[in-house]
């Protein structure tokens, strides 16, 4: 079980690293001057590759989390309300990941009306989600 936990943590940390950096690329894309097509194309390529890589990292993170929960029984049984809250946080992380994909599509197609300040705030969401997940798993407040 400890090996599964260790790999789960590595993949979760790697997934979040991508979710922390991808919106920073969105900030830069929102600031690209209209006449700088080469810079825009380079940033879009970076964002597409990072989104693809981050998605690939999410798969084993989620799979290993399910193994810990369903096979090893972590968070199951009475007194494990924290796990329900953590599963909600995981759903919110997946929703954020999807929102990143939608934002990238809008930026790629030139349909984004968001400015760099909005993307800076959008970039803070995964920090709060990671904080919530870590507190729930470590502290187990309920």
Average pLDDT, the chain: 96
Q: What is the mean pLDDT of residues 88-105?
A: 98
Mean pLDDT of 119-124: 98
Report pLDDT for 68: 96
pLDDT at 79: 87
Give the count of domains, the chain.
1
Beta strands per DSSP E along the chain: none
Structural domain of 39 = 2-139
The pTM for the full model equals: 0.95
Local structure of residue 32 (DSSP, 8 states): S
pLDDT digits (tens, 9 = 90+) for 43-94: 999 999 999 999 999 999 999 999 999 999 998 888 899 999 999 999 999 9
% of the chain at pLDDT higher than 90: 94
pLDDT at 75: 87
Q: What angle do CA 139, 83, 18 make, to 5 degrees?
A: 85
Per-residue pLDDT band at 34 (split at 50, 70, 90): confident
Average pLDDT over residues 134-138: 96
Whole-number pLDDT of residue 138: 95
Long-range CB contacts (< 8 A, 24+ apart) of 68-73?
68/1, 68/4, 68/5, 68/8, 72/1, 72/4
130-133 long-range contacts, Cβ below 8 Å, gap at least 24?
130/16, 132/85, 132/89, 133/86, 133/89, 133/90, 133/93
How many whole angstroms separate alpha carbon 22 and alpha carbon 62?
A: 19
């Amino acid at each position: 079980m400890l090996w599964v936990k260790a790999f789960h943590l590595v993949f979760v940390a790697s997934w979040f690293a991508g979710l922390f950096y991808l919106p920073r690329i969105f900030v830069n894309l929102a600031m690209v001057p209209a006449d700088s097509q080469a810079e825009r194309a380079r940033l879009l390529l970076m964002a597409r590759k990072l989104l693809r890589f981050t998605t690939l990292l999410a798969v084993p993170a989620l799979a290993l989390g399910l193994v810990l929960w369903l096979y090893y029984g972590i968070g199951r049984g009475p007194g494990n309300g924290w796990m329900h809250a953590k599963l909600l946080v995981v759903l919110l992380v997946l929703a954020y990941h999807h929102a990143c994909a939608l934002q990238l599509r809008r930026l790629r197609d030139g349909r984004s009306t968001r400015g760099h300040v909005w993307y800076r705030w959008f970039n803070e969401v995964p920090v709060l989600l990671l904080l919530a997940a870590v507190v729930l798993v470590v502290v187990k407040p309920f």
